[in-house]
């Protein structure tokens, strides 16, 4: 049984009131859960309806109008906000009037609101509410009624001089890469570039801090965001305890377990019935909100006594030691001194050429890691595509 805050309504969907309440004290919030529990839709619906404080019901009413003066619980305007996907292909799939989430929010609920998308640059578009032209009978974009900007982390993350500082919230939908998607070089750095560009001068202007809501299914634990914030081991501990929420510095992590909707799908969906009893990472992710983890048996912390330093790179240090007459390598985030490799592509290439035997040692299981974070950093070192320029 999950321990901590219950983030579900009675029907099993996410209670967005509790999410917005948490974001008053956690400007960045990661929400991860199984499939089909309404992460994307409930977020979009809540935003479109102005994020009312009393929003904790199991039903979604018809939105007949958008209040562009509505505010979040932290006293910042809801509109316009920024809605991102990871890649340009994902962005293009939602940046059209037939498929973006807000078309679904309004049309599915029989709303009188009409929304349209307009491309503003090569990297982003905007979704507007429309007014009806009484002479022509056509619905036309009202340029003053911007609901949100739409783009991708990959494209917007390498764009300088952004003019989207009117936004008080960034939503990144599906921030974790699925196994079928390609990796993105410097993904976390791209994300930080977007946040910093949008948040520029907010403190000097007396504006509330920019909020970032990141939604996803639980795919790879070693994702760029958890790696960048070095909270992987915190997430592992949360999973062990079945803990639903934890605040770390100024960001929070929400893990959604035991969804009533997921439980019902197990009973009714043939796909999950066919996977019952199978060691399927997809079923673990979709139903139980379990992250994919590798080589956890190699995580064994130890003292640095009798360890000899080999090299340091990317914040981790390799040490050699002997155990029962056999040579081992220990990887730690503790550095007892010495020359470090730099963080450029060339430095990583030089490290790999000089120390390729370290990877062979890992493949032969003669390597131990201080924690899962050091293990993830170790694997990332050997991926030279990661270290290419933005």
What CATH number did the domain enclosing 242 receive? 3.40.50
Average pLDDT over residues 110-126: 87
**pTM (two decimals):** 0.84
For residue 335, pLDDT over 90 is answered with no
pLDDT at position 158? 84
The lowest-confidence range among 43-47, 139-143, 201-205 is 201-205
pLDDT at position 231? 94
Q: 100 lies in a domain?
A: yes
Using alpha carbons, list the distances in angstroms from residue 41 to 6, 60, 168, 255, 300: 19, 11, 20, 18, 41
Locate 132 and state its tokens.
Answer: 């009806």
Residues 125 and 237 in one domain: yes
Residue 366 near residue 164 (C-beta atoms within 8 A)? no
Residues 307 and 263 in one domain: no
For the ranges 100-109, 171-180, 213-222, 236-245, the maximum mean pLDDT occurs at: 236-245
For residue 58, pLDDT over 70 is answered with no
Res. 217 pLDDT band, cuts 50 70 90: confident
Cα gap 62→378, rounded to integer Å: 51
- For residue range 17-33, what is the model confidence (pLDDT) as tens digits? 999 999 999 999 999 98
Torsion, Cα 239 242 247 252, to 10 degrees, reads: 70
Average pLDDT over residues 40-55: 82
pLDDT at position 283? 60
Residue 372 near residue 233 (C-beta atoms within 8 A)? yes
Res. 290 pLDDT band, cuts 50 70 90: low
Name the percent of the chain lying above pLDDT 70.
Answer: 87
Residues 53 and 176 in one domain: yes
Residues 268 and 334 in one domain: no
pLDDT at position 280? 61
pLDDT at position 289? 58
Q: 141 lies in a domain?
A: yes
pLDDT at position 390? 40
| 3-state helix vs strand vs coil in the chain, percent to 5 | 30, 25, 45
Residues 329 and 276 in one domain: no
Residues 176 and 240 in one domain: yes
Residues 190 and 337 in one domain: no
Q: Edge-to-edge, what's the strand order for the sheet holding 316-323?
A: 308-313, 316-323, 326-332, 367-369
Q: 10 lies in a domain?
A: no
> Within a 10 A sphere around the Cβ of 387, how many other Cβ atoms?
18
- Point out the domain boundary residue: 256, 272, 288: 288
Res. 337 pLDDT band, cuts 50 70 90: confident
pLDDT at position 201? 74
What is the DSSP-derived secondary structure letter of residue 387? G
Res. 313 pLDDT band, cuts 50 70 90: very high
- For residue range 68-87, what is the model confidence (pLDDT) as tens digits? 999 999 999 999 999 999 99
Residues 71 and 165 in one domain: yes
pLDDT at position 366? 95
Residue 102 near residue 66 (C-beta atoms within 8 A)? no
Locate 38 and state its tokens.
Answer: 């309404």
> Within a 10 A sphere around the Cβ of 299, how many other Cβ atoms?
17
Q: 226 lies in a domain?
A: yes
Mean pLDDT over all residues of the chain? 85
- Point out the domain boundary residue: 239, 270, 288: 288
Residues 199 and 301 in one domain: no
For residue 254, pLDDT over 90 is answered with yes
Cα gap 266→275, rounded to integer Å: 9
Q: 124 lies in a domain?
A: yes
Domains: count for the chain: 2
Residues 168 and 235 in one domain: yes
For the ranges 98-102, 181-185, 361-365, 373-377, the maximum mean pLDDT occurs at: 361-365
Residues 323 and 215 in one domain: no
Residues 185 and 256 in one domain: yes
Q: 7 lies in a domain?
A: no
pLDDT at position 61? 72
For residue 54, pLDDT over 70 is answered with no
pLDDT at position 1? 59
Q: 373 lies in a domain?
A: yes
The lowest-confidence range among 99-103, 191-195, 211-215 is 99-103
The lowest-confidence range among 58-62, 269-273, 332-336, 380-384 is 58-62
> Within a 10 A sphere around the Cβ of 9, how many other Cβ atoms?
20
- Point out the domain boundary residue: 243, 269, 288: 288
Q: 157 lies in a domain?
A: yes
Question: 340: domain range?
Answer: 296-387
């Amino acid at each position: 049984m999950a321990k901590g805050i219950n983030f579900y309504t009675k029907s099993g969907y996410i209670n967005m009131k509790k999410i917005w309440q948490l974001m008053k004290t956690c400007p960045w919030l990661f929400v991860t859960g199984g499939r089909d529990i309404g992460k994307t839709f409930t977020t979009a619906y809540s935003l479109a309806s102005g994020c009312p404080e009393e929003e904790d019901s199991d039903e979604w009413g018809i939105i007949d109008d958008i209040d562009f003066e509505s505010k979040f619980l932290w006293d910042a305007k809801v509109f316009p906000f920024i809605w991102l996907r990871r890649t340009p292909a994902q962005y293009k799939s939602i940046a059209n009037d037939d498929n973006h989430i807000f078309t679904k929010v309004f049309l599915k609920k029989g709303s009188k609101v009409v929304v349209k998308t307009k491309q503003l640059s090569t990297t982003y578009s905007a979704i507007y509410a429309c007014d009806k032209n009484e002479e022509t009978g056509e619905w036309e974009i009202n340029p003053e009624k911007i609901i949100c900007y739409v783009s991708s982390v990959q494209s917007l993350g390498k764009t300088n001089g952004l003019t989207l500082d009117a936004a008080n919230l960034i939503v990144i939908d599906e921030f974790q890469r699925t196994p079928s998607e390609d990796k993105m070089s410097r993904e976390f750095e791209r994300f930080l570039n977007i946040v910093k560009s949008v948040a520029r001068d907010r403190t000097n202007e007396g504006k509330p801090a920019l909020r970032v809501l990141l939604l996803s299914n639980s795919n790879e634990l070693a994702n760029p965001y958890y790696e960048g914030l070095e909270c992987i081991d915190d997430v592992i501990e949360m999973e062990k305890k079945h803990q639903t929420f934890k605040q770390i510095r100024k960001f929070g992590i929400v893990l959604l377990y035991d969804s009533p909707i997921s439980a019902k799908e197990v009973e009714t969906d043939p796909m999950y019935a066919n996977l019952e009893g199978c060691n399927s990472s997809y079923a673990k992710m979709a139903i139980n909100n379990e992250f994919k983890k590798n080589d956890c048996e190699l995580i064994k912390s130890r003292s640095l006594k009798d360890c000899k330093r080999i090299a340091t790179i990317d914040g981790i240090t390799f040490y050699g030691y002997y155990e029962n007459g056999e040579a081992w390598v220990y990887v730690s985030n503790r550095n007892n001194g010495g020359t470090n490799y730099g963080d450029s592509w060339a430095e990583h290439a030089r490290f790999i050429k000089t120390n390729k035997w370290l990877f062979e040692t890992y493949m032969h299981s003669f390597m131990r890691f201080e924690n899962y974070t050091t293990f993830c950093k170790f694997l990332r070192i050997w991926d030279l595509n990661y270290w290419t320029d933005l």
